[in-house]
Structure 1
Amino acid sequence: MILSYYFIRKRIQELLKHPQARRRRFFAWNEVKSLCIIYLQKDCAEAEACIAQLEAMGKKVHCLVFAPDTQVSSTGKEAQLVCTKADMNLWAFPSEAIEKHFCAEPCDMLLDLVPDEHLPLQYLELKHPAPFKIGIKKTSDGLYDCTLEVPKRDIRYIFAQMLHYLQTFRSA
């Protein structure tokens, strides 16, 4: 049971003002070896199609899935971390075990496929040391290194846009 989002919102604002030291780096798409994808369980079918596309390109994919219930339908993926409401304290902070496990996963790029603001996931994203983070524009500015503003809230559309820009951009 979550009583209030006040404290996590305040901590996110603090992390945005004073970000953790991480080595920011843009990767050309062909340099990306591993990715961490964040999505909601309700978008599982669409996200898994995107993950399959990335794996077909030879990318190693780790996932963080948020499930509102403690009952989680497992997809059988080893590289999947599931965070439920039961993993959060009264102020919506994810458990220390979830945070440590998530932040310990090395990746070149973090992709957030969550279309709306989700404070516990944003908190975890800010704590993750990934050198490049990309996501959808939300109310928290400065969360990502590359932000997309999309008219549709469709996961496949969002993923296609991210992939298009990542393949188009080249590092200088």
Structure 2
Amino acid sequence: MTISNYFIKKKIKKLIDQTADRKPVFKAFDHIQSILVLYEMADFESLSPHIEHLKRSGKKVESFGYVRKEVLPEVDDSYHFIVEKTDLSVKGIPTDAALQKVLACKPEVIMDLTHAGCYAMQYLLVNHPCNFKIGIKKAERDLHDFSLLVTDRDEFNYLFEQILFYLRNIRTK
């Protein structure tokens, strides 16, 4: 159980400040070979077909889902989970073991599809050295190199299609 979001929000802010000079490297969809997807378990049913679509498109996809309860679906090894009870401290900060699991992934793109208050996943995102981070714009400071402003979280399929549309239309040298 997390006692307060104060501590993790403070750490996230500090990490954002420390990485302010980070240079993003935008990539077109055709040039992306590996993707890390961050999401919340509440979105698993909607998200899993999209992850499978990315895999069928030839992308190496790994994912980390944030789980508030310990009921995990049966899935292949490319799906990983951050479980609130075991992978977070009482301050809500992911353990070193959880952080190392995420850092062990070497994606070219991180796709953050978490909700605004999912600070554990935001912490993992800002700690990762990946140089192209895509996500949903949150009220806090900008965490992503490329953000989409979303007004209705119920339109998850539309959101995912928009991300893919923009990735397919990025032109790089």
C-alpha displacement at 1:152, in angstroms?
2.2
Partner of 1:82: 81
Backbone CA RMSD of aligned residues = 1.5
User: Unmatched 5+ residue regions in structure 2?
Assistant: none
Letter in 1 for 2:80: L
C-alpha displacement at 1:43, in angstroms?
1.1
Partner of 1:161: 162
User: Unmatched 5+ residue regions in structure 1?
Assistant: none
Q: Return 40-49 or 151-160, whichever deviates more.
A: 151-160
Distance 1:138 1:62 in 2: 23
Which structure 1 residue ranges, 4+ long, deviate > 2 Å from structure 2?
Answer: 20-24
The alignment's TM-score, normalised by the length of structure 1, stands at 0.93
How many residue pairs were aligned?
171
C-alpha displacement at 1:23, in angstroms?
5.6
Partner of 1:98: 98
Q: Deviations over 1:14-73 (max 9, x none)?
A: 111111876631111111000000111121111111101111111010000111012222
Distance 2:141 2:172 in 1: 23
Distance 2:74 2:97 in 1: 19
Distance 1:116 1:5 in 2: 12
Distance 1:118 1:90 in 2: 15
Distance 2:36 2:111 in 1: 6
Distance 2:100 2:21 in 1: 16
C-alpha displacement at 1:109, in angstroms?
0.2
SS at match of 1:69: coil
Letter in 2 for 1:40: E
Partner of 1:25: 25
C-alpha displacement at 1:104, in angstroms?
1.4
Partner of 2:60: 60
